[in-house]
Chains A and B, each alone.
Chain A
Amino acid sequence: MVEQYNPTVMDHFMHPRNMGDMENPDGVGHIGNPQCGDIMEMYIKVKDNVIIDVKFKTFGCGAAIASSSIVTELVKGKTIEEALKITNQQVVDALGGLPPIKRHCSVLGEDALKSAIDDYLKKTTGKGIEGWQPHEEEEHAH
Chain B
Amino acid sequence: MPTEAKRKVYFDNMANTPPDHRVIETMLLQTKEAFGNPLNIHDFGEKTAEVIESSRKNVAELIGATPAEIIFTSCGSESNNFAIRGIAKAYEKKGKHIISSAIEHFSVLQVLKALEKEGFKVTYLPVDKNGVINSQAVAKAITPETILVTLTHASNEIGTIEPIAEIGKIVKDKGIIFHVDAVQTAGTIPLNVAEFQVDALTLSANLFYGPTGIAALYLKKGTRIVPFLVGGTQEEGKRAGTQNIPGISGMGKAAELAKQEMNARSEKLIPLRDRLLKGLTEKIDDFFITGHPTNRLPGHASGVVKYIEGESMSMLLNMEGIAVSTGSACVSKALKASHVVLALGVSPEDAHGSLVFSMGKDASVEDVDYVLAKLPPIVKRLREMSPLYPKKKGAK
Contacts and interface: CB of A to CB of B under 8 A. Distances in A.
A126 B146 CA distance: 64
B379 to A, nearest CB: 13
A7 B1 contact: yes
Nearest to A41: B387
B308 A3 contact: no
Interface string A1-42: 111010100100110100110000000001000111111110
Contacts of B309: 37, 59-61, 64
Interface in B295-335: 307-309, 311-312, 314-315, 318-319, 328-331, 333-335
A37 B349 CA distance: 6
A76 interface: no
A61 B1 contact: no
On chain A, which size bracket covers the interface?
Answer: 20 to 34
B330 A37 contact: yes
A58 interface: yes
B385 interface: yes
A65 B385 contact: yes
Contacts of A104: 335
A24 to B, nearest CB: 16
Interface string B239-255: 00000000000000000
The winner among B314, B334, B352 for most chain A CB atoms within 10 A is: B352
A58 B387 contact: yes
The winner among A2, A37, A57, A58 for most chain B CB atoms within 10 A is: A37
Contacts of A59: 307-309, 352, 385-388
A61 B328 contact: yes
Given A1-B331, A37-B330, A41-B387, A62 B312 contact: yes
Contacts of A14: 319
Given A3-B1, A140-B335, 12 more contacts: A10-B1, A19-B384, A34-B347, A34-B388, A36-B329, A39-B388, A58-B386, A59-B308, A60-B312, A61-B312, A61-B328, A61-B330
Interface of A: 1-3, 5, 7, 10, 13-14, 16, 19-20, 30, 34-41, 57-62, 64-65, 101, 104, 140-142
B337 interface: yes
B380 to A, nearest CB: 13
A37 B315 contact: no
Contacts of A3: 1
Contacts of A39: 387-388
A37 B352 contact: yes
Nearest to A61: B330
Contact of A16 (B314, B319, B329, B385): B385
B103 to A, nearest CB: 20
Interface in B364-388: 384-388
B348 interface: yes
8 contacts: A7-B1, A34-B347, A37-B329, A37-B330, A37-B337, A57-B387, A64-B330, A140-B335
A134 to B, nearest CB: 16
Interface in B5-28: none
A1 B315 contact: yes
